[in-house]
Amino acid sequence: YWAGKKSLLGLPLHCMEKSKNQLLVYPKNQLSWIPQIKPWVFNENRIMWFKSYSMTFACLNWMKIFRLPWTRPYSTSQTTVDTSEVRTFLALAHKWWDEQGVYAPLHSMNDLRVPFIRDNLLKTVADHQPGKPLSGMKILDVGCGGGLLTEPLGRLGASVVGIDPVDENIKTAQHHKSFDPVLDKRIEYRTCSLEEIVKDTVETFDAVVASEVVEHVIDLETFIQCCFQVLKPEGSLFITTINKTQLSYALGIVFSEQIAGIVPKGTHTWEKFVSPEKLESILESNGLSVQTVVGMLYNPFSGYWHWSENTSLNYAAHALKSSLQEHPAPAEFALKGETEELQAEASTNTGVQEELKK
């Protein structure tokens, strides 16, 4: 059938079969022809190479877009961890517990974020034990670093799981908690990302804490989806992060990193900062109801933080996972509902009959 026909290169197929490169092969016992491309004929037959590979990638892209409806919206292969961020924090892993060092602002931030977490969690319980108000609660500290926030939450009585993708950070955290036998029992550390534990911890935690973390992830939407999955119904998500404003660039990066050296250079990327409005939109669209958003200001001269109505720099947010998740109704039921409404109005409005016929 193919005798005498010309290939993409303008040569008859039988000529191609006899050529030294064997670009096109016609199997005599099959009703098909198979393009075979060898690396060393790239320059000689560049057009053929691009056409074959473009068809391959087009097919792969089609498969990615039209995935099966029951495929999970995230997977362990879809990471939220930025490898460049991992390298940055790996170099600082031994400095977490130096209260006068590069992490001094995070030590000081505990004066705000620990009471913020504690007080909002206590609103969800009828009573609590004096001295251990968070007793009985299970908290996930995402991006725990050296355990600066994990340990205070453990001292309040909570069972805390701290996770971080940097193994050296986890080693530092484990070493520090080993000095306190009480914390050693209440706190568990794991070297992993959030998406890696989702499958085994669905609806496990009363609270998820992501303090100074979301400005370092590469896929915020997936990160929030994972937080939602591991939370129990009516569980709390706590986030502290940096707003995406011109002021945050000037003070958070130019001044803090490049001039004053409060934070090591390269710690933050302004493009990853997120505004309270965008964060709230992502939270709400993923089943989390925002309860509180409040500004935080850091005084580099005194070394202390304080609350503020201004959220143009740092801010804290608290969101709740609804106990009853609403799912959009299938199109057929929505159409049925609209038809019933029209029928109900038809008795008083003759014009509706025409709409129903349409």
The answer to whether 121 and 236 have CB atoms below 8 angstroms apart is yes
Q: What are phi and psi of 317, to 5 degrees?
A: -135, 145
* Residue 164 labeled ligand binder: yes
* Residue 46 labeled ligand binder: no
Per the DSSP assignment, residues forming a β-bridge with 159 are: 138
* Residue 219 labeled ligand binder: no
* Residue 268 labeled ligand binder: no
Name the residue among 182, 180, 201, 179 with its Cα closest to residue 190.
Answer: 201
- Length of the chain, please? 358
3-state SS, 90-148, equals HCCHHHCCCCCCCCHHHHHHHHHHHHHHHHHHHCCCCCCECCECCCCCEEEEECCCCCC
Which secondary-structure segment (H or E) carries 237? strand 231-242
- Enter the DSSP assignment of 249: I
* 93 vs 89: CA distance, rounded Å: 6
User: Quick check: helix, strand or coil at residue 220?
Assistant: helix
Query: What are the structure tokens assigned to 225, written together?
Result: 């989806």
* 240 vs 243: CA distance, rounded Å: 10
* Residue 212 labeled ligand binder: yes
Which residues are annotated as part of the binding site?
113, 143, 164, 211-212, 215-216
Which residues are annotated as part of the binding site for S-adenosyl-L-methionine?
113, 143, 164, 211
Which residues are annotated as part of the binding site for Mg(2+)?
212, 215-216
